[in-house]
Amino acid sequence: WRMEADGANPTHMVREEANCWFPHVSPDGAWVAYIAYGKDDVAPGDHPANKHVELRLVPAAGGDSRTIAQLFGGQGTINVNSWAPDSRTLAFVSYRLKP
């Protein structure tokens, strides 16, 4: 969701049905990076670990998103601002479970 600072005019930013978490606006204000779980993969309010999740980008004005990486993680995955100052790249953390 996107809204005014006072909470007015809430607008849904993404079109797909997914559980979208940890949005981070690029320094130039053009993009939002976030992680997305499948619609039925996690319960609202749950903070899962050890799940497949996608790192996605959506224009800050709203529109179609695109997946830029498939990660294994969950809690702790891209939960801090990770954009480069020039808004051209971003960093993320993923991990693998030991067998």
Domain total in the chain: 1
**pTM (2 decimals)?**
0.80
82: in domain: no
Give the C-alpha separation, 90 to 35, whole Å: 13
Q: What is the pLDDT of residues 10-62, one digit of tens each?
A: 887 787 778 887 888 999 999 999 888 887 888 777 767 777 888 899 999 88
- Within-domain flag for 36: yes
Q: Is residue 29 part of a domain?
A: yes
Which residue range forms the structural domain that includes residue 34?
18-73
On whether residue 26 sits in a domain, the answer given is yes
Beta bridge pairs of residue 36: 20, 54
